[in-house]
């Protein structure tokens, strides 16, 4: 079984009692064999020499067992830096394990390729290709010259490298052409097949072509095993039950008795990457060295024989560990039971509160007298969302704890929002926050704010659906990618049902429950990792990890993240969201007075502080867990390249049965909490700011609740459609959220800032400031304008909007004589009741 240690004897009893028949998947490879394979890689890397040492080190890096690799090869560098050919291997290893000096070693390899008189150009070209680097970018002139020259080994590897980052179909087609070229000698076909084995992405037609080439190749050809290996590894699922694949497999397995080192190594790699459980016996035999390559009698041949055997054993060990990683995990029956019960509970909540809503005010504002602590927890759950729950641990894993330094600015956020913004909002009891903008700056600004808010929330809801489904649900529940849209529809459907049934009361009630689930899931993760690693401090790094890059403190818009950047970005986000977002203002207005609204915001901030700390610690915990147990990562995954997937993966493989389901339900809870708030608030804005305002002779329908429920339904459908487009945005989860969701956060607050704090603000200047703010955000997000990093979108667009709006307002007021300012309109509003205000 997969190791599942309980947290306490009580947890054992509970799991046995409730889920005694539910187990996770059995491991195909036991701990003893796994440790034997790891030990073999360590031994070969330390005791062998030259390329055998390089191969073992690269196997360790790929599998995540990176201990001592950098230290070993930094020492090796001193001896090998002037050794032609072998130095390329040393540089290649260091380029993969030392993140702070990656480009230095890449450039050394590229320089060796550019040296036309050097005798390690072939090794350099191969290494660039294996590192995924395109020589057209690193050495354009030398690459062009080689590709226009004769077809030889240098040509094959240079072409392979020059296709990195290009269209995968073009890469496969070019390599297949070399394989099919009957004029090429056996060595070049072997090298092209080796490249194909490493790349893949074959269509069914291309695979059939490759398989036929492999099967037709004569037995004496050194290229045959490489062709068979490529065909075996990249066989489409639809072809694995057919005769052609069976023939490829049968001929490939004949090489288990081969006397050639390369053939045995290629067989091992093929079985590790695509073999069946029964093929483990072949790999064990190779690991034990019980099928040796026969040496001749002289000492030099014996030494070569020992090195060859070590290379085979290391490759067998690598393949065993690769097969270990190919295990599939799934939730147990007990986990599914927890999830189903939770979803049923959400539907029950919606039905219960649907019987208590009498009118629109009950639906949108919960009657205006809701408990401030409950509303505060709801505000926390709304602003946190599944986006933060999934992205914070991944951001911590990939870039380190700098992002968490932003919570240090929370006291200032509380003061600014609680004493400058909340009192302004509570002066007027309105249903839509954007009525405030109309009172102070007119209809045009209210409509612009409505557009900004709806754009923000639709993008936000679409992102929640996309990321929750593609990052969490597919990974945890094991659904096929083709069901993503159906799952998205189901997720939104359940949310629409209980939200449109129960209104804000249902939203707040479920948010309170979901807040507990979120925090409980994070705490359980910390407890489980602490137990499995031995202590509560064992998973806290003792030093700044190299994968996190350099720690920087000062404010710098061209750095992705520094401590000062995190403080400024966090401050701007909380102030702007709390001071302009209908979802936040709606909750302030749902309380009785300024003091209770302030208390609501304080509860939200405190809860956010606790949970963000927890999620940051969760990131460190799952990082330590997968560094200690890299066998749970799939082939090709590393803690850095798949940082966003580590937390969902841990939920599946690291937590006990039943707890996995609870935390999975927590992620669904976070998503539905935020989606429900989005549905409620966007429906409110559309109803108040668009339908009622622009419908001539508007009359409230006899059944008001049916009307608002129908509106929420159509809002949900539009957000669902929008979620399909989010997949086009590049970056890790945190970057995607910032680039998409935060586009309109600062521009929306610019309008409120002008309407509340700039006395001489005019409508047309404020409108221009808002549009300039949006343009700035888009320019930075998608075009990296002036080299500004995406995480600086919020402060940059806020500054651009406020400065331009204020300057233009001053010019409009002083030079153009426009007296219709915010100050004048607010004075008039104090005398005459605003016609747009709803009782």
Distance CA(84)–CA(72), nearest Å, equals: 19
Residues (pLDDT < 50) of the chain are 1-27, 357, 359-369, 832, 834-839
What tokens were used for 34?
């796994």
Q: pLDDT tens for residues 611-622?
A: 788 889 999 999
Question: What token pair was written down for 188?
Answer: 């070049």
> What pLDDT does 21 receive?
34
Of 670, 674, 652, the closest CA to residue 661 belongs to 652
| The predicted structure's pLDDT at residue 14 | 43
CA distances from 305 to 46, 288, 383 (A): 18, 15, 63
Helices first, then strands: H and E counts in the chain: 39, 0
For residue 442, give the DSSP letter: -
Nearest to 42 by CA among 61, 18, 29: 61
Question: What pLDDT sits at residue 584?
Answer: 77
What gap in Å lies between CA 427 and CA 641, rounded to an integer? Answer: 50
* Per-residue tokens: 585: 């203002």
329 CB neighbour count, 10 Å cutoff: 16
* 371 touches 379 (CB < 8 A): no
86-120: burial string, b at 16+ Cβ within 10 Å, e else: bbbbbbbbbbbbbeeeeeebbebbbebbbeeebeb
Query: What is this structure's pTM?
Result: 0.79
Q: What is the reported pLDDT for 376? A: 55
- The CATH number for 333-831, chosen from 2.40.10.10, 1.20.1730.10, 1.10.260.40, 3.40.718.10, is 1.20.1730.10
Note the pLDDT of residue 739. Answer: 86
DSSP 410-431: HHHHHHHIIIIIHHHHHTS--S
Give pLDDT tens digits for 717-727.
888 888 877 77
Q: What is the pLDDT of residue 700?
A: 58
| 393-404 CB burial, b ≥16 within 10 A, e <16 | bbbbbbbbbbbb
The tokens for 632 are: 């749970």
Q: Please give the C-alpha separations between residue 838 and each of 361, 693, 833, in angstroms, as whole numbers.
A: 10, 11, 11
pLDDT at 473: 84
């Amino acid at each position: 079984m997969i190791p599942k240690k309980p947290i306490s004897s009580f947890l054992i009893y509970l799991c046995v009692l409730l889920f005694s028949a539910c187990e996770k998947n059995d491991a195909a490879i036991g701990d003893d064999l796994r440790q034997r394979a790891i030990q073999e890689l360590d031994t070969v890397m330390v005791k062998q020499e030259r390329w055998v040492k390089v191969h073992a080190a690269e196997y360790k890096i790929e599998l995540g067992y990176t201990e001592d690799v950098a230290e070993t090869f930094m020492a090796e560098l001193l001896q090998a830096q002037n050794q032609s050919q072998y130095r390329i291997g040393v540089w290649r290893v260091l380029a993969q394990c030392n993140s702070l000096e990656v480009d230095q070693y890449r450039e050394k390899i590229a320089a060796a390729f550019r040296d036309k008189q050097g005798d390690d150009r072939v090794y350099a070209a191969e290494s660039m290709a294996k590192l995924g680097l395109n020589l057209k970018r690193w050495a354009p002139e030398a690459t062009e010259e080689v590709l226009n020259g004769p077809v030889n080994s240098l040509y094959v590897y240079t072409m392979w490298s020059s296709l990195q980052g290009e269209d995968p179909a073009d890469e496969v087609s070019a390599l297949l052409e070399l394989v099919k070229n009957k004029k090429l000698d056996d060595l070049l076909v072997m090298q092209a097949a080796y490249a194909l084995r490493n790349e893949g992405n074959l269509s069914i037609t291309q695979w059939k072509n490759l398989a036929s080439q492999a099967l037709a190749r004569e037995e004496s050809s050194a290229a045959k095993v490489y062709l068979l290996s490529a065909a075996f590894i990249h066989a489409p699922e639809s072809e694995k039950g057919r005769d052609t694949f069976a023939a490829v497999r049968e001929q490939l397995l004949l090489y288990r008795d081969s006397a050639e080192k390369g053939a045995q190594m290629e067989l091992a790699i093929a079985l590790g990457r695509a073999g069946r459980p029964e093929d483990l016996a072949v790999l064990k035999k190779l690991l034990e060295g019980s099928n040796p390559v026969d040496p001749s009698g002289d000492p030099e041949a014996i030494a070569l024989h020992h090195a060859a055997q070590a290379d085979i054993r290391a490759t067998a060990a690598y393949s065993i560990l690769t097969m270990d990683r190919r295990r599939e995990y799934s939730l147990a029956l007990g986990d599914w039971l927890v999830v189903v019960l939770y979803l049923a509970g959400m539907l029950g909540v919606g039905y219960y509160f649907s019987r208590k809503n009498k009118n629109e005010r009950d639906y949108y504002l919960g009657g205006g007298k809701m408990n401030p602590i409950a509303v505060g927890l709801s505000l926390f759950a709304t602003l946190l969302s599944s986006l933060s729950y999934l992205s914070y641990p991944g951001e911590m894993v990939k870039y380190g704890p700098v992002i968490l330094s932003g919570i240090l600015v929370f006291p200032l956020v509380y003061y600014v929002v609680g004493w400058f913004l909340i009192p302004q909002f509570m002066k007027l009891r309105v249903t839509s926050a954007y009525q405030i903008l109309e009172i102070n700056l007119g209809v045009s600004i209210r409509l612009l704010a409505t557009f900004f808010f709806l754009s923000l929330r639709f993008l936000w809801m679409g992102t929640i659906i996309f990321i929750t489904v593609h990052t969490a649900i597919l990974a945890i529940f094991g659904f096929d990618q083709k069901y993503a849209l159906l799952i998205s529809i189901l997720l939104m459907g359940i949310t629409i049902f209980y939200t449109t049934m129960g209104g804000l009361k249902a939203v707040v009630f479920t948010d309170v429950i979901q807040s507990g689930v979120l925090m409980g899931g994070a705490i359980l993760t910390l407890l489980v990792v602490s137990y499995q690693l031995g202590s509560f401090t064992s998973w806290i790094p003792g030093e700044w990890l190299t994968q996190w890059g350099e720690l920087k403190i000062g404010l710098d818009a061209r750095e992705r993240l520094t401590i000062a950047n995190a403080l400024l970005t966090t401050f701007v986000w909380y102030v702007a969201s709390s001071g302009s977002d209908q979802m936040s203002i709606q909750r302030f207005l749902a309380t009785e007075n300024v003091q209770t609204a302030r208390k609501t915001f304080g509860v939200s901030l405190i809860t956010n502080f606790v949970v963000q700390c927890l999620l940051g610690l969760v990131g460190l915990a799952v990082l330590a867990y997968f560094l200690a147990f890299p066998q749970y990562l799939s082939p090709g995954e590393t803690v850095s390249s798949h940082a966003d997937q580590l937390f969902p993966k841990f939920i599946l493989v690291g937590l006990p049965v039943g707890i996995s389901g609870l935390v999975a339900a927590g992620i669904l809870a976070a998503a539905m909490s935020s989606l429900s708030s989005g549905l409620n608030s966007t429906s409110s804005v559309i109803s108040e700011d668009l339908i009622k305002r622009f419908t001539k002779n508007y009359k409230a329908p006899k059944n008001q609740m049916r009307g608002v429920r129908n509106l929420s339904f159509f809002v949900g459908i539009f957000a669902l459609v929008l979620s399909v487009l989010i997949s086009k945005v590049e970056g890790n989860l945190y970057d995607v959220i910032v680039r998409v969701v935060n586009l309109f956060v600062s521009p929306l607050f610019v309008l409120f800032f002008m309407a509340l704090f700039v006395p001489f603000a005019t409508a047309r200047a404020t409108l221009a400031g808002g549009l300039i703010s949006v343009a700035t955000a888009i320019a930075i997000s998608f075009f990296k304008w002036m080299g500004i990093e995406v995480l600086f979108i919020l402060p940059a667009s806020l500054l651009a909007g406020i400065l331009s709006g204020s300057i233009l307002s001053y010019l409009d007021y002083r030079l153009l004589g426009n007296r219709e300012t915010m100050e004048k309109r607010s004075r008039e509003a104090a005398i005459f009741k605003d016609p747009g205000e709803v009782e």
